[in-house]
Structure 1
Amino acid sequence: MSSAAFKSTVSQFVLSNDQVHKIIAGLTSELVEGLSTTDPKNITQQPSYITRLPTGKETGLYLAVDMGGTNLRTAAVHLLGDGQVGVTMEKHEITHQLKTGTGQAMFDWIADCTASLLKSVALDMGNADLQMGVTFSFALHQTAINRGKVLAMGKGFDLSDVMGKDLKDLLEDGFKRKNLPIVVSAIINDTVGTLVSHAYVSPSTKIGVILATGTNAAYIERASEVSKYKGPACDQMILNTEWDAMGKADYLPQTKYDKEIDAVSLVPGFQEFEKMVSGLYMGELVRLALVDLIQQKAVFTFLNGIVPESLKTRLAFKTLFMSTIESDNSSDHSSIDRVFKTSFGIEGLSAQDRADVHELIHTIGKRSAKMTAAACAALLRKANGASVKLDDPKEITTIGIDGSVFEKYPHFSRKMMDELTDILGQDRASRVRLELARDGGCIGAALVAMVSHSGGAV
């Protein structure tokens, strides 16, 4: 039987209905605030300068770069019409050395990766400039469809001489240094890319979500609501919410472990919502809770309260381990033994230890799904009556979701949908679809680059 200390620890990660609705109300308040704020420290609700979604009929060949928290993807994207695309893509890991080095080194490397793609696809358009769309998974102060100043990055990035610089200039300077005739004709956020690309395939898509190393969302808002937007007149605007940076202590149900993660992060007090739900942090929550429970002799009692060195390393317990363990349907959770033996050199777990570890992991994973669903509910309610028609029985609203947590974490989508049903009610929830969106960054960037280059208003 689990100890009282174990039950107390796990209960901190269980959300009540009141807590869920408090999250929705808090996020909604921040969504509204972000529409008008001019505070440079508030990076939420960034206008994308994209005022319509694709029709699915667009055609052409465009380059794309997708810079995320873990990898850089380069792609040649052939838009074929009828919602069809052909993609040649290469993926490159962004090393810690690159993440914490100079901006010039980073953008020279991006140019080298792009040159590698061009060589592999043997793309030669003579003397013509190659048009590129760029997906940038970090906050930008966008000033045009192809220009944006880099804001705080997060996700382990600490580049010198980049903050406040225009991303188009940073990229094109790198291409020039490598003698590549490439023009950046569109810059979008990865979540905007997910929304745009999934709408190309599924026209009912009104919200795009990323749930991977980090998390973010984009949705379609009435332009009249976005008072801080100073661009050309339009009826609607896709907004990059930067919901990762939302979340205040007065409504986020932070445990002491969440607060510890925040305290030792590169930027304490920044991206507090993200630190509670995304792939970079879920495994770390498990590790911190386990360390605490071992010290209390509430689990792994054979260790006599002494935490193994292998478990003391920050981020040592990967969210991938959680996924592996939750995928194991055996009654004795034998995968737990394998994970702890292989990755931490810990052997001798009892049946109760395995049951406790499984319960802890399941509860933390479920909290992430519930909090993400609450954030989606806030967006659905904010957009309801405009781009979203929750009360119209003939209207379906699709949320396109890209990212390893949504795609690979066991039962995550079902847990999200169950929570949305609880929040919205059966009728409204039945008009909402959660769909996996893949490679949204590259395809979305290519779509926006195509429309921008052809002179049409996106």
Structure 2
Amino acid sequence: MTSSTFQDTVNEFVLSKDQVQKIIDGLTEELVEGLSTKDPKNITQQPSYITRLPTGQETGLYLAIDMGGTNLRTAAVHLLGDGQVGVTMEKHEITHDLKTGTGEAMFDWIADCTAQLLKSVALDLGTTADLQMGVTFSFALHQTAINRGTVLAMGKGFDLSDVMGKDLKDLLEGGFARKNLPVSVSAIINDTVGTLVSHAYVSPSTKIGVILATGTNAAYIERAADVSKYNGPACDQMILNTEWDAMGKASYLPQTKYDKEIDAVSLVPGFQEFEKMVSGLYMGELVRLSLVDLIERNAIFEFLGGKVPESLKPRLAFKTLFMSTIESENNPEHTAVDHVFKSSFGIEGLTADDRRRVFELVHAVGKRSATMTAAACAALLHKANGASVNLDDANEITTIGIDGSVFEKYPHFSHEMMEALTEILGKDRASRIRLELARDGGCIGAALVAMVSHSGGAV
């Protein structure tokens, strides 16, 4: 009974070919729907107002900030041409109090962080005209111009007052004005758009940008004629911020009871259901909920007698970092499992079977995330095929630039994504896909877009 109960739980995270295809078909349907819908509740497929990728020859000094789910990065970016950049960057943790406070307090803090950067790079504000800034904003915006967009929704633990529905340029420049900083916002992009643009600066075959960290999202290049929701100047193509994190419906997502529990207790149930199945914020919680259930059913850690330790009860107590530690160990005894549970939870006495089972569970949850991310990338590749991507040209390489701690640091994640893409696309097509790590895309991408926007060109 114990063994079958455990295996049944692990098997819930193992996806069949049919389940993967349903994810691809479902996401593709939502990608198409998002191109035309005027429903303000549908935040997917947001036009970025960026109509071409950089050439790699752009030059100049521009400020940039990258506001994500965990940190704010401020940067002075020197574009040097020939795909080269010089970056002075500072990182600041966004505290819980900031995330759940007032909008004014948040944007004053951003201005203070920017002032600290300017001091670090020794810019003399007294002799400096308005400094141009590109902004990467990792949350849903309704973009109305290259440097304007109203805030639609903020997940990732944010609950700011007086921000929803406001224009981000006005919010930021209000903070700069209150702190007497001569900074103008000349471009606003999403972090995943920044990843696409910045990686294309150094790798011109890049057609898709993906973020896979605390949250997840993607951007790609679409035919402008297919983007009926776009009302801007005429163009041939448009980079779209898919907001695929907010996609996903119960009709096609292979949700376990643990996925449903995570959604039910989240700040906004029914929102970002795809993200809650694959991103770094939730992977560890899926393992914790599974372990709690298995302990209560006496299917693991039997020495506890079905009693869950207090240390395992808090939400998000089992971090995705612990999964990475466990999977990174090349040791059949899985001694890293012992270390994690002893040092972080005060749990000792695990048997060899316990350690093996924890490893199997962790591996299954991690592999499901990689497979689902690959399925989402396949949906984008299919949607863009014949436009910015040509899957059938044996001489064309398509690069997917991926930024984020899960892709960069989680063991074997890129390999398992590539295995899943090979299964989905076939060996020939998959051999022409490259998955590449794209670091610091938010700041560099924002600076690139700010440069072209300020110079009067259309990116």
Normalising by structure 2, what TM-score?
0.99
Mapped contact 1:77–1:443 kept (Cα < 8 A): yes
Structure 2 residue aligned with 1:222: 223
C-alpha separation in 2, matches of 1:250 and 1:124? 57
DSSP-derived class of the 1:151 partner: strand
- TM superposition shift of 1:127: 3.7
- TM superposition shift of 1:124: 2.5
Mapped contact 1:282–1:319 kept (Cα < 8 A): yes
User: What amino acid does structure 2 have at the position aligned with 1:391?
Assistant: D
User: What amino acid does structure 2 have at the position aligned with 1:135?
Assistant: T
- TM superposition shift of 1:304: 0.4
Structure 2 residue aligned with 1:115: 115
Structure 1 residue aligned with 2:251: 250
Greater displacement, 329-338 / 246-255:
329-338
Mapped contact 2:284–2:318 kept (Cα < 8 A): yes
1:286 aligned onto 2:287 = yes
Structure 2 residue aligned with 1:236: 237
C-alpha separation in 1, matches of 2:162 and 2:419? 45
C-alpha separation in 2, matches of 1:110 and 1:318? 28
DSSP-derived class of the 1:3 partner: helix
Structure 2 residue aligned with 1:66: 66
1:263 aligned onto 2:264 = yes
C-alpha separation in 1, matches of 2:116 and 2:55? 32
Structure 2 residue aligned with 1:101: 101
1:177 aligned onto 2:178 = yes
Mapped contact 2:64–2:76 kept (Cα < 8 A): yes
Mapped contact 2:74–2:117 kept (Cα < 8 A): yes
Report the number of matched residues.
458
- TM superposition shift of 1:22: 0.4
C-alpha separation in 1, matches of 2:207 and 2:383? 12
User: What amino acid does structure 2 have at the position aligned with 1:62?
Assistant: Y
Q: Runs (4+) of structure 1 moved beyond 4 Å?
A: none
DSSP-derived class of the 1:65 partner: strand
Normalising by structure 1, what TM-score?
0.99
C-alpha separation in 1, matches of 2:115 and 2:307? 51
Q: How does 1:295-306 map to 2 (within 5 A)?
A: 295-306=296-307
Structure 2 residue aligned with 1:76: 76
Greater displacement, 321-330 / 123-132:
123-132
Mapped contact 1:20–1:371 kept (Cα < 8 A): yes
- TM superposition shift of 1:394: 1.1
DSSP-derived class of the 1:131 partner: strand
- TM superposition shift of 1:426: 0.8
Mapped contact 2:2–2:298 kept (Cα < 8 A): no
Mapped contact 1:63–1:77 kept (Cα < 8 A): yes
Structure 2 residue aligned with 1:376: 377
User: What amino acid does structure 2 have at the position aligned with 1:375?
Assistant: A
C-alpha separation in 1, matches of 2:274 and 2:124? 45
Greater displacement, 437-446 / 388-397:
388-397
C-alpha separation in 1, matches of 2:105 and 2:351? 50
Q: Deviations along 1:143-190, whole A, 9 cap, x unmatched? A: 000000001100000000000000000000000000000000000000
Mapped contact 1:19–1:253 kept (Cα < 8 A): yes
C-alpha separation in 2, matches of 1:457 and 1:355? 55
Mapped contact 1:2–1:356 kept (Cα < 8 A): no
Mapped contact 1:141–1:149 kept (Cα < 8 A): yes
Q: Deviations along 1:283-308, whole A, 9 cap, x unmatched? A: 00000000000000000001000001
User: What amino acid does structure 2 have at the position aligned with 1:18?
Assistant: D
C-alpha separation in 2, matches of 1:2 and 1:367? 23
Structure 2 residue aligned with 1:10: 10
Identity across aligned pairs (percent)?
85
Structure 2 residue aligned with 1:432: 433
C-alpha separation in 1, matches of 2:63 and 2:128? 16
C-alpha separation in 2, matches of 1:182 and 1:231? 26
Structure 1 residue aligned with 2:202: 201
C-alpha separation in 2, matches of 1:316 and 1:107? 30
Structure 2 residue aligned with 1:321: 322
User: What amino acid does structure 1 have at the position aligned with 2:13?
Assistant: F
C-alpha separation in 1, matches of 2:402 and 2:145? 26
DSSP-derived class of the 2:176 partner: helix
